[in-house]
Amino acid sequence: MPDRNVVSWTAMVSGYAQNGRHEDAVRTFLEMWEGAGVRPNEVTVSSVLPACAAVGALALGKKVQRYARGRRMFRNVYVANALIEMYAKCGSIRRAWMVFRGIGTRRDLCSWNSMIMAFAVHGLWREALGWFHKLRMTGAKPDGITFVGVILACTHGGLVDEGKLLFNSMREEFGLKPRIEHYGCMVDLLGRAGLLKEADSLIASMPMEPDAVIWGALLGACSFHGNLELAELAVEKLMHLEPQNTANLVILSNIYASHGKWDGVAQVWKLLKEKDHKKSAGYSFIELDGRMHKFLVEDKSHPRYEMVYDTLDSITLTMKLVNLENSEVES
């Protein structure tokens, strides 16, 4: 396309972001803004901020905020909500709150949900539930996303009874049909509290097929509380849903070991070896000078990888020397 304008650039940024290709969304946005010199509009900004959140590009997000403020884009609640979500997911709750406060009466349910979810995800369950009650006082009707946040808050707070009440109120008080993510939160809530049989019964009563998140939550609870019977059931289901995920088998092996069932441990590791399960390479991202860099263990694809490894070796040596000096002082 010889004549790329803000509409065509924005379409690419938005398309990448909506399809989970967050790194490509950020890269395209930077090509547009810094490379081609095309000024982003409100749609571009509200599209790239979720991508910044997904890859942890907080510095770029702040830069976008300064740009948006200079062009008075915060009058658009979609831009403000995207910024709240970006700061919340990057762990900057205070900045998210400042944006929320700044939009005043233009707040919508998405604004409230972003703050409730931010508090809940970061374990601030009292704040999440407090803001839920503030939302109710405004007369606004919570939606499914709201209830994901408040049930998650109950999970972090160990509030089993309150979580049950909220879950039941979805249908009884608000006419909302619980979705699979709500069942996942409830299984996690019950599982963490050690109510594994109740969690299993809830799974059995689900109107939809449980997914890997549901069974994974149950397996995690079984691992913590040492329930071998339900762990075996969860892993059996998970092997059908995500057969390449070795972590589930490793967790089961650890539970067998904690019960002294070494035959079970041997069987699991034999299964791993026979199927030649290998972990997928996990990439990490780092933001440096407004650019995103992707890397994995023993990665040598970066053009300056030799310098990177030399620096790491130097840091490792320094840490060893410091530990040695500390050991000598303590002795």
In a domain, 8, yes or no: yes
| Residue 225, pLDDT above cutoff 70 | yes
pTM: 0.76
Position 320, amino acid = K
Q: Is 284 exposed, middle or buried (0-12, 13-18, 19+ CB in 10 A)?
A: exposed
Residue the block writes with tokens 């689900």: 206
Kindly report the CATH number assigned to the domain that includes residue 2. Answer: 1.25.40
Please state the rounded mean pLDDT for residues 4-14. Answer: 93
Structural domain for 44, as ranges: 1-104
CA torsion 98→100→101→102, rounded to 10°? 80
In a domain, 282, yes or no: no
Residue 113 and residue 101 in contact, taking contact as beta carbons nearer than 8 Å: no
Position 105, amino acid = T
In a domain, 313, yes or no: no
Please state the rounded mean pLDDT for residues 292-306. Answer: 64
pLDDT of amino acid 277:
46
In a domain, 83, yes or no: yes
| Residue 89, pLDDT above cutoff 70 | yes
Q: Which of 43, 40, 19 is nearest to 29 (CA)?
A: 40
Number of domains in the chain: 1
- Distance of alpha carbon 48 from alpha carbon 63, whole angstroms: 12
In a domain, 60, yes or no: yes
In a domain, 78, yes or no: yes
Q: What is the pLDDT of residues 116-148, one digit of tens each?
A: 999 999 999 999 999 999 999 999 999 999 999
| Residue 234, pLDDT above cutoff 90 | yes
pLDDT of amino acid 138:
92
- Distance of alpha carbon 200 from alpha carbon 223, whole angstroms: 14
Between the alpha carbon of residue 214 and those of residues 148, 160, 260, the distances in Å are 14, 17, 27
